[in-house]
Amino acid sequence: MWAGSSATRPLIRSTCPMRDLRLVIFDVDGTLVDSQAEIMAAMASAFASQNMAMLDRPTVLSIVGLSLNEAFARLCPQVDATQRGYLVQAYKDAFNDLRGPDGNAELSPMFEGALDALMNLHAHPETLLAVATGKSKRGLDKMIERHGLEGLFVSQQVADFHPSKPHPAMVLAALSDTGVDPRRAVMLGDTTYDMDMGRAGGVGTIGVTWGYHDADTLNADILIDNFTALPAAIDTLTGQER
């Protein structure tokens, strides 16, 4: 649920002038992939490792997008830092076991239209794609490999190297990697954490209605019901003064 870093700055190759570049930053879980089956199973394993009662699905999914440490802090405010560390490690171990050595695309399938949307956006030289996710680097790398998304994201921001969402560090790092003006960038996500992070980073926000938070609570600049509506939403937000 939660897995690059900008330690090595990507070389942005584009024939477009820098002023014409725009950036689309994607959340992963609940936005590009439906990972709730893996999340719930790994969470159940983590709670069982500490002889704790498993929480209900809505409660667990409400913290998707946060770093694991922050997620367990919110789910289990009664535990101390040591036990929280055990929960985090147990979750990671269970998630890796569920994924298996070759990945399991059936557990975390891409949402309908997600792959086509990524490929169509990537085909436009002025549009750069990035990821800002609560996953670990290892988790994101596996997701990209699992779904054949190598080479699509010029900036990959993960929980290993940043404060948890909604802190804007990941958005700011993606902007720095690409040199794109915040007014020419958008954040796409399914949770309030994504929208708050995008706003704090000075970029437009696009909320999706198919994710893990109630769409009515997102307070996004634009809400979309499917990926076919994404290009128009990007055009609207990157072409207007905010």
Residue 214 is a catalytic residue: no
* pLDDT reported for residue 148: 92
* pLDDT reported for residue 211: 92
- Which burial class, exposed, middle or buried, applies to 161 when counting CB atoms under 10 A from its CB (0-12, 13-18, 19+)? middle
pLDDT along the chain (242 residues), means of 10: 40 57 96 91 94 93 87 93 94 81 67 96 96 90 92 94 94 97 97 96 97 92 98 91 42
Domains of the chain are 18-34+110-238 (3.40.50.1000), 36-99 (1.10.150)
Rounded CA separation 219/151 (Å):
31
Question: Which stretches of 79-164 are DSSP H helices?
Answer: 81-99, 114-122, 137-146
3-state helix, strand, coil in the chain (%, to 5): 45, 15, 40
pLDDT in tens, 38-74: 889 999 999 999 999 999 999 998 888 888 889 999 9
* pLDDT reported for residue 47: 94
* pLDDT reported for residue 240: 52
pTM given for the model: 0.84
* pLDDT reported for residue 3: 36
* pLDDT reported for residue 14: 53
* pLDDT reported for residue 92: 87
Where do we find the tokens 């998304």?
149
User: 129 in helix, strand or coil?
Assistant: strand
Phi and psi, residue 25, nearest 5°: -105, 125
DSSP structural state of residue 242: -
User: 110 in helix, strand or coil?
Assistant: strand
* pLDDT reported for residue 100: 65
Q: Which of 29, 34, 177, 194 is catalytic?
A: 29
Q: Residue 28 is encoded by which pair of tokens?
A: 């992963």
Where do we find the tokens 């309908």?
112
Question: CB–CB of 65/30 below 8 Å?
Answer: yes
Q: Which of 27, 177, 190, 221 is catalytic?
A: 27
pLDDT in tens, 94-128: 887 887 665 555 668 999 999 999 999 999 999 99
Residue 141 is a catalytic residue: no
* Residues contacting 168, CB < 8 A, separation 6+: 197, 198, 200, 201, 202
Dihedral sign for Cα 167, 192, 156, 187, please: negative
- Mark 83-96 as b/e (b = at least 16 C-beta within 10 Å): ebeebbebbbebbe
